[in-house]
A and B are shown apart, each in its own frame.
Chain A
Amino acid sequence: MINALIEAFVQLQGWLLDRVVQPPLLVLGLGSYIEMAFDGVELFLCGVLQISAAYLLLRPLEALRPIEVWPDRKPVRVDVTYSLLDRLGIIPLLVFAVLAPLFGSIDSWLRLNDIIPPQLEDLFPALETKPLASFLIYLALLDFAEYWRHRLSHSFRWWWALHAIHHSQRQMTLWTDSRNHVLDDLIGGFWFATVALLIGVPPGHFVGLLIAVKTIENLSHVNARLSFGRIGELLLVSPRYHRWHHALHLPTGEQYRHGCNFAVLFPLWDQLFGTQYRGRAMPPCGLADGPLPADAARSGFWRQQWEGLGALLAACRPAAAEATQPGGSTASDLRQEKPHAR
């Protein structure tokens, strides 16, 4: 059964490459990208499978155990657009097209100067022949890096101006995790590529790592009364745990001045670095105030991108920097006073 499914997947992947992708590449003189395109087709198909599975499994959960019921689900539609652009590879392709030449040049320069970037396997050679252990270690390292990327995106005013789009959604659903400004995605890609270059993420792990992260992210944004219990939430980010990260009113406390529960997969990082909040309730989500217009939660894709750029420019102005110092927004109702300091 599994072999038949794999065979069907491979056949479809080959068909798409041969009939859709390869002909234009050859015509354009880009034949050397065919192998990369083959991997891209695999990523696309995995994205289709992943998002289909997420919808089939999580949408019924949202219908059966909703935290919130909305008579008008129109604001959710833009998140579906974001998800399709992300999972079907459009955004990743854009990020790749911008970053691949840059990182290729850096790596090439290093090698020409006799510098081979160290890899995890140089420290632990046994990992070379233990793919499962290797996968889990890379997953943990990347999640650690993602924790800090996420936390910093809440700490710098200019970055928060972009990331606020993700938090502007008041109707948070399984689709919300891909709702990001394209520049925020680009920075995220830059961050990931830098970490990957430093630790040497195996190409064979790449698709698996992405699927693991995206699946948990779909789950953690779901509009369903679901927690993993007191113990489970110490091990893996649950919908309730992550909902506090999106809370309209943040918990009170100096440690939460930029937010709480930044972890993507493993809550351990929040626990280690003092940003964990273990609320029992399922709070409402969104931004009470912030760098975006008040109706940002309901605007469409292009308008959100435009408004994100505007917020970024505003945040970079010296006057804005003086007016709104980062930090200090800890209590639930303080965000109005220091809107850029989540």
Chain B
Amino acid sequence: MLLLGAHPATQAGLAIALNSADGTVSLIDTDSYQVTGKVNVCKEPHHLMPTPDDKSLVVACAAANQLVFFDPLTGQEQKRVRNISDPYQLGYSPNRKWFVATSLRLDRVDIYDPTDFSLIARLPAPKTPSHLAFDDASQFVFVTLQDSNEVMAISLPTQKIAWVMPVATTPAGIVMSPDNRYLLVASMGEGVVEVIEWRSRQSIRKVPTGKAAHNLQPKGDGRHFYVSNRTVDGSISLLDTQTMTVVEQYEVPGGPDDMTVRADGKELWATARFARKVQVVDLVNKRLKLSIPVGSSPHGVFFLNHAGLR
């Protein structure tokens, strides 16, 4: 994941949530929690991520074969990059030299030049490449393979598959630990976060978090990660990466999926994939604060006033 500092608080904040099944993004006022607009984007957008400078929000339009860039301050579309084949999950390498997109549906990982989005390499990645993470030195991108229960490491300098190792069933979210030592892999099948010492390719521990553990989001303190457990009853766990234990648990119904943490650490926003809502969790009082109705199958939420991404 890319190292980004906490952004200074903005006044009238804008949150952008993308709705995969609707092909839209919902614009939400972060102060009033009201939806202020809905914008048509493309066919089947999956996942969003900010550019390294936070000046754009990139939406991966899987079925439309393109990337759509939004201004995260206004919600206005900035540009479209076409001929990006079936992008699902995205990532800029920490050194900003590589832009990687997984194609979950077509078993493939693409590596692009982020300056002009020209294709550098296209690698077969059976089966069902889902989320991705980088090491700090940008030597590798690590990809979870959901249906073959593996993690694949791709060497970025050579654009070759370096290794593949078995992990707990149906791996989805993957992040690098703040000390660059461990990969943390959320396993939907086992409801755990698996800790992997990636240099030796050893599975160190499996930390139970909740049924259908799906995604991880940094708290921004360089130590903790939130883990979404994506069931309809749903929950979000707080994982301490120093002790590798769950230290807090929040009930968040509706299939919590992607998350963003506010810069002051008081709120966590999560897309409830199965409830057409964005759930706002009050991290001070440790409870679900409110639900914001959005579109169908929300699959990503972002605001500029976010905590650091490590």
Contacts and interface: CB of A to CB of B under 8 A. Distances in A.
Interface of A: 3, 6, 10-11, 13-15, 17-18, 22, 26, 29-32, 34-35, 38-39, 104, 107-108, 111-112, 114, 116, 119, 121-122, 128-131, 200, 202-204
Contact of B22 (A14, A107, A204): A204
B122 interface: yes
B102 interface: no
A111 B83 CA distance: 11
B271 interface: no
A202 B23 contact: yes
A140 B236 CA distance: 45
Which size bracket describes the interface of B in this complex?
Answer: 35 or more
B279 interface: no
Interface string B161-175: 000000001101000
B170 A31 contact: yes
Contacts of B233: 18
A26 B212 contact: yes
B189 interface: yes
B275 A10 contact: yes
A10 B276 contact: yes
A272 B156 CA distance: 56
B188 interface: yes
Contacts, number: 110
B54 interface: no
Interface of B: 21-23, 39-44, 63-65, 82-83, 85-86, 103, 105-108, 119, 122, 124, 128, 130, 146-147, 149, 169-170, 172, 188-189, 211-212, 230-233, 254-255, 273-276, 293, 296-297
B212 A203 contact: no
A129 B39 CA distance: 8
Given A29-B189, A31-B169, A119-B65, A111 B231 contact: no
A112 B86 CA distance: 11
Contacts of A116: 65, 83, 85
A116 B83 CA distance: 7
Contacts of A121: 43, 64
B169 A112 contact: no
A38 B23 contact: no
- Which 3 pairs of residues, A with B, have the shortest CB-CB distance? A31-B170, A18-B232, A32-B146
A107 B105 CA distance: 9
Nearest to B77: A129
A200 B63 contact: yes
Contact of B122 (A17, A26, A111): A111
Contact of B128 (A22, A32, A122): A32
A30 B189 CA distance: 8
Given A203-B63, A204-B43, 5 more contacts: A18-B274, A104-B107, A111-B85, A128-B64, A204-B22
Contacts of A107: 105-106
Contacts of B147: 32
A267 B78 CA distance: 43
B232 A15 contact: yes
